[in-house]
Amino acid sequence: MQGDMMLTLAYRPFFQRIKSVPWSGFFILWSVLSMATVWFYQDHFTTRQTVEELLGEQFSPVYIDLIFARIQDITYWTLLCIPFFILVRMTLMALLIHLFFMLTQVWISFKGVFHAIVPAFGFLILRDVSKFIPMSGMDVPGDKAGEILRVPLALSAVVSVDAYPVLNKLLNAFNCFEGLWLVWVLLTLAAWTGFKIKKIFFPLLTARILGIVLMWGIGVFYEIYML
């Protein structure tokens, strides 16, 4: 009991200061960093040469130029839409967590949950940036880059299912950055609401795991039916 009180006194002042920062400030920061990450990937791994290597045997050089120009146009529109996508993603994450809190009779407002997960979104951006680390100093063809874009310290590094690449993507989604995200949100909500950590841990963990699986399922659906 005394240990829990000492732990609470240790982290609560820090997270109370975080609460005084408007969530819009974090939102703008994460949007800019996400746009920079997407631009870096497109600039380094989606080049005219990459498109030609993928489609050179199927289309003429003129048509390849048109395809590459189209990809660039889509990239620009994607960059502009990234803030909207981030806002929608954080809102859905907060709704899912809020739902599980209500189901377990943990009464934390949606606004409080949303404000808590906005700063934590930075860990997910660090996760995306970490995917480029294995490629630093390597001459990786653009058509092979996706094959090694794995998150360091992910479950896929321990349990690899090479025969089922789709499952490898799911295992890749469970990584150390998700753990940091979970710890941050857990401590933030405990500091802001006064709830004990063990009371909010299970519904928060369950909601996050479900969110990861749903995102993976949407990605699989897109690859199968939309590409």
Domain parsing of the chain, residue ranges: 2-225
> Could you tell me the two tokens for 57?
């045997």
Helices (H), 131-175: 142-148, 165-173
Joined together, the tokens standing for residue 100 give 């599980």
- In a 13 Å sphere around the CA of 3, the CA atoms on its Cβ side amount to 1
Map residue 154 onto helix, strand or coil. strand
pLDDT for res 217:
84
pLDDT by position in tens, the chain (length 227): 544 555 555 667 777 788 888 889 999 999 999 988 888 877 766 666 666 665 556 666 666 667 667 776 677 777 888 999 999 999 999 999 999 999 999 999 999 999 999 999 999 999 888 877 655 554 544 444 444 456 667 777 666 666 666 777 788 788 889 999 999 999 999 988 888 888 999 999 999 999 999 988 887 776 666 54
pLDDT confidence of residue 147: 47
Q: What is the pLDDT of residue 39?
A: 83
Distances (CA, A) of 61 to 8, 11, 46, 110: 64, 59, 16, 53
Widest Cα–Cα separation across the chain: 73
Q: Are 174 and 155 in contact (CB under 8 A)?
A: yes
Q: What are phi and psi of 154, to 5 degrees?
A: -95, 165
Cβ proximity of 151 and 172 under 8 Å: yes
Q: What does the alpha-carbon distance between residue 18 and residue 7 come to, in Å, rounded to a whole number?
A: 17
Residue 106 DSSP label: -
Distance, in Å, from the CA atom of 147 to the CA atom of 140, rounded to the nearest integer, reads 10
The pLDDT value given to residue 153: 73
What is the per-residue pLDDT for 59? Answer: 63
